[in-house]
Amino acid sequence: MSGIRLIAIPILICVLLASMVLAVAIGPTSVSIASLFSPETAGMIVRDVRLPRVIAAALVGCALAVAGTAMQGLFKNSMADPYILGTSTGGSLGATLSIVFLAGAGLPVLAFAGAAIATFAVYTIARQGGKIPVETLLLSGVALSMLLSAFLSFLMYTSGRSLHQIMFWLMGGFWNVAWDDVFVAILIPIGCVLVYLYARDINIISLGEEDAIHLGVDVERLKRILLFASAFLTGIAVSIAGAIGFIGLITPHVMRLIVGPDHRILFPAAALAGGILLVWSDTLARTFANDMPVGIVTACFGAPFFIYLLRSRMKA
């Protein structure tokens, strides 16, 4: 296992870079990377369409994976992720409000605000006497997601001409991603670094909250910081690509099996794996599925994986 840990990060970096290069070249119309510098149509396809789309997919995948890893480590539960806990739904509601009432103005800000409010609402609901029971947390997330989904449905019902835009956006995808979205996505590495700074504290809290307190960890402060950072990452991801589920659920769990539970290694491994997974999901959607929403692709393999986790916990 120690040997795998040493080479896992370099291998994942190489796989992600290779995946991004191939994803730029692969598509309904095959082009070469050399055409990046060409003034012809092929060059425009690479520079203005595929390259920002692939970069955005990699960064959004990193954001969702890191947010999921932080939540799973914080709550010591492999089923916690931004989608399950209502963070993504809150971000979706904030972005939808921007589309309906502000014609899309301030969408990243409202998406982040919605994600943050939803996350701290679940945290407040689930908190009992200073502690957060995992089952209560998950049930609170499901209940709040259903409530926010009802608000979303109401907005869609009353949105008029914005309905088509909202529906496609909520299914998750990178159709309209441009370089402006990539510039917004540059904020994602900042959030990832912030989370990584607390990797050691998350390792300690896995021993138990009382032991962590005795070892000098301010547990409640750590929870607030990580929830804020996770909401920040999820809000940015949602504002760029809509609601894409299960990336934050699958990649941390798989990487934990490969590199172990040490979050100092798990965070970068999950971030890279999340980028790889979403880059290839988007490439599959636009190449072989007539540019189907990538959220559908991730749900197709994410939902069975979630059922597998549930069955595993039942047998444990």
CA atoms of 175 and 56, how far apart (whole Å): 11
Length of the chain as a residue count? 316
Ramachandran area for residue 103 (φ above 0: left; ψ -120 to 50: alpha; else beta): left
Contact partners, residue 8, CB within 8 Å, separation at least 6? 258, 259, 265, 269
Per-residue confidence (pLDDT) for residue 49, from 0 to 100: 83
SS3 content of the chain, % helix, strand, coil (to 5): 80, 0, 20
Per-residue confidence (pLDDT) for residue 137, from 0 to 100: 77
Per-residue confidence (pLDDT) for residue 3, from 0 to 100: 61
- DSSP reduced 3-state for 218: coil
Per-residue confidence (pLDDT) for residue 171, from 0 to 100: 83
Q: What is the DSSP string of 201-237?
A: HHHHHTT-HHHHHHTT--HHHHHHHHHHHHHHHHHHH
Q: Which backbone phi and psi does 156 adopt, to 5 degrees?
A: -65, -40
Per-residue confidence (pLDDT) for residue 242, from 0 to 100: 86
For the chain, 316 residues long, give each residue's pLDDT as a single digit of tens. Answer: 556 777 899 999 999 999 999 998 887 776 666 665 666 666 677 888 889 999 999 999 999 999 999 989 988 877 778 877 788 889 889 989 988 888 888 888 898 889 889 988 988 888 776 666 767 877 888 899 999 999 999 998 888 778 877 887 788 889 888 899 999 999 999 999 999 999 999 999 988 888 888 888 888 888 889 888 998 998 899 889 988 888 988 899 889 988 989 999 999 999 999 999 999 999 998 888 787 889 888 888 878 877 877 777 666 5
CA atoms of 123 and 64, how far apart (whole Å): 19
CA atoms of 118 and 207, how far apart (whole Å): 28
CA atoms of 140 and 124, how far apart (whole Å): 9
Cβ atoms of residues 155 and 97 within 8 Å: yes
Per-residue confidence (pLDDT) for residue 80, from 0 to 100: 77
pTM flag (> 0.75): yes
DSSP letter (8 states) at residue 95 = H
Determine the topology of domain 2-12+40-315 in CATH. Answer: ABC transporter involved in vitamin B12 uptake, BtuC (1.10.3470)
Q: What would the pLDDT profile of 254-275 be if each residue is shown by its tens digit?
A: 899 889 899 999 999 999 999 9
Cβ atoms of residues 77 and 233 within 8 Å: no
Cβ atoms of residues 287 and 299 within 8 Å: no
Within 13 Å and on the Cβ side, how many CA atoms surround 78? 18
Maximum C-alpha span of the chain = 64
